[in-house]
Structure formats: structure tokens, C-alpha cells
Structure 1
Amino acid sequence: MGSGLMAEFKLTRAAPLGGYHEEIGTTSLREIDAARAETLCIPLSEDVATCAAARDLFGGPLPAVGTATLSAGTGAHILRLGADRLMILHLPDRSTRPDMAHALGAQEVTRVDQTDYWALLDLAGPRAIMALERSCRLDLHAEVFAPGHLARTPIDGVSTLLVRLEIDRFLLMAPRSYVQSLTHSLLTSLRYVSG
């Protein structure tokens, strides 16, 4: 019931690209909506105890720095951004979402919810690498950037976190305010290499 003095409204979350999905030939570019992203900062002094707790929570060891893995324990993607930094991606309908900092048992773990910062894109198909090679500076050969590897890289000027999920499938994470630019760039490249 309103007070009559203030307008009543409700904020609802909207996907940055409105659930975008496009297929060009056998390669697709789609927005991953409703994913939850959180960063955990773990003091290096607690690394041994935290890693033991992480094995229990995630169903295996933490990935090496610069790599990502799918958690058998929670179904979340675990991205190891640095020695003391993890990003946990909870994709819709694929993972449970425990309180990570509490579950890891480390007193000094800092958790930052970054869900509203990132926009996620899935680029998959036989022309995905060719589309990325037009504007990405990384060496994307499978021997160098194998499935499970991740890196920060500019793609047409947009700072992007790139994760190789499979040989021809990539997860791209960009700030929400830049994801339209990134999508336009990828779509232009994809049309060019498919034409």
C-alpha cells in the first residue's frame, strides 16, 4: 500500500542484449542470461587450508592460474584469475549456489558479487576461431590456448575475459556497458568469415 507521497515501482533485471541469439551457418553467437558471477579473493596465507576446503566443495582441486574448470561438486564454472583470486560462474539451471566464502572456511575470504557487471556471450561452431582471430591478439591454436584456458584480452578495444570451453566453443565476458560493441564486432567477423 502506497503512502501517496512516493511513486511505487519495482525494478526488474533485464538482459543486456535482450536474450540475443544468432546463427550464421553452423556457428552461433548467443547471450547467456541470468548467470551469477562472484569473485573470491583468498589471502595467500590461507591457501593450503582453503584449497583443501575447495576440493571438498568443488569436487576436485582448484584449477591452475589461467585456467578454468567445471565443478563436479556445484556445477559452476571456476575461473582461476590469479594465485589469490577465483571467479565462480553459476550458469542458469546448471549449478547450486552455496555461500562460497563460508563454505571454504577461510576467515579472510572476500566475496564480491559481480553479476551486474558482466555480460556473457557463448560463441560456438566451426567458424568461431576464425571470427575471433580477426580481432583477438591471442594465439588461439589448441596447443597454446587449449580447452580450459582463459585470458584477458582486448577484442576490438573491448576488454574481454575469454575462456576456451571446447575446441570450437568460447565463453566471452565483457562489461555490460561494452557488450553491444563486442557483439557487433564478433557478428561482423562471423559474417565475414562465413561469407
Structure 2
Amino acid sequence: MAELIAKTPCDGLLPITSETVSLTELTPSAITSFMPYKGREKAASTALKKACGMALPGPNEASGTEGARAIWSGRGQCFILDTGVPADLATEGAITDQSDAWAVMQLAGAGAQDVLARLVPVDLRLAAFKPGQTVRTEMQHMMASITRSGDTSFDIMVMRSFAKTAVHDLHEAMKSVAARG
């Protein structure tokens, strides 16, 4: 019988550094989709805060700490990262384990926003996109969730099947930005 070996989505692809920008893989212990039932948003936010220590994020926001976060992922839904979600939270909304479905990377360093400017149609400069803000957007030809996690760092989530393509596109943009320097 075949022995299966668990691998992360970016196994063997990351880390990459180009001049002042680095791309590393983040490996959340869990990624859970949470969608409050219609009319239960306030109760769901209270229950999420009690269970996981963070409120339901508003549109284009992330809540929580760097260890355990809730990231807005669309109208009336969020991803909860790095914390277990108690089953009794299902009384307030739909819960789905998404842990194996996403590749999560961090692009960091001086020039990270310049790298993303080549790939996304959204203004991610510090003046327009503050730490703690998030956006669902197109990155090249794939959908991505991008969260500003610090002054010069961005957490990027793409579907697992796009991990290799995302790493390639980001690396090419990193090399292009480095060449301009």
C-alpha cells in the first residue's frame, strides 16, 4: 500500500528572497469558513468573540491577533485562522473546515507593495490600505485574499491549486521590482 506524505501547498517552492522582499509560506493550524445566519450577525459576532477572542470582522477588515485572526472573505462571511472553532458556534452560522483548501503566504519587506502593484488592480500603498485591512481581489488571473499584516508585509491567500502559479507570479514581480532598483 502507498504511503502518503502530507505536504504544505508551497512545499519546495518557498521561501524566496529578492533584494529587500521575501516571500514565505505561512501554515495556519486551521482555516475555518464562518457565515452567520441571516439576521444573526450581531449574535454571531458576540459568540465568536466569546469562543475565539475576536469579533466578526467588517467588510475589508481583519480582527484578532497575529496568532488567531478572523479575515473578511466576502459579504457575510469570514475565514478564521489559527484557532479551533467550537461546534456550538454552528447555532449562529455555518462552519466549514477549509484548512486543506488554501495556500497562505507572506510577502514582506521594503518594496512589497511595489511587487503587488504589478499583480493586483487595487491600491495597496500604506496611505490607502492600512495594517489590518483586507481585500478579495484578482491577482493576475486568480482570486486572492490580501491582508496587510504590517507596515511592509502582506498575507496572501489563494486556492491551494493556484499555489505554484501564485509563487511564480509573485517571484517574477519581485525580480522585476529588484531590477528597477
TM-score (norm 2): 0.87
1:38-187 equivalence runs, <5 A: 38-71=32-65, 75-90=67-82, 96-99=83-86, 101-102=87-88, 104=89, 107-187=91-171
Shift of 1:70: 2.5
Name the structure 1 match of 2:4. Answer: 11
Distance 1:34 1:164 in 2: 16
Q: CA RMSD in A?
A: 2.0
Name the structure 1 match of 2:21. Answer: 27
- Which secondary structure state, in structure 2, belongs to the residue aligned with residue 190 of structure 1? helix
Q: What stretches of structure 2 of length at least 5 have no aligned partner?
A: none
User: 8 Å contact 1:15–1:33 — kept in the other structure?
Assistant: yes
Change (3 A) 1:170 1:38: same
Shift of 1:10: 4.2
User: 8 Å contact 2:131–2:151 — kept in the other structure?
Assistant: yes
Residue 67 of structure 1 aligns with an amino acid whose one-letter code is E
Q: What stretches of structure 1 of length at least 5 have no aligned partner?
A: 1-7, 91-95
Distance 2:43 2:81 in 1: 22
Distance 1:180 1:60 in 2: 32
Distance 2:119 2:54 in 1: 35
Residue 97 of structure 1 aligns with an amino acid whose one-letter code is G
Distance 1:26 1:118 in 2: 26
Distance 1:138 1:146 in 2: 13
Percent of aligned positions with the same letter in both sequences?
28
Instruction: Give 1 or 2 for the bigger CA radius of gyration.
Output: 1
Higher RCO (CA 8 Å, separation ≥ 6 residues)? 2
Distance 1:57 1:34 in 2: 18
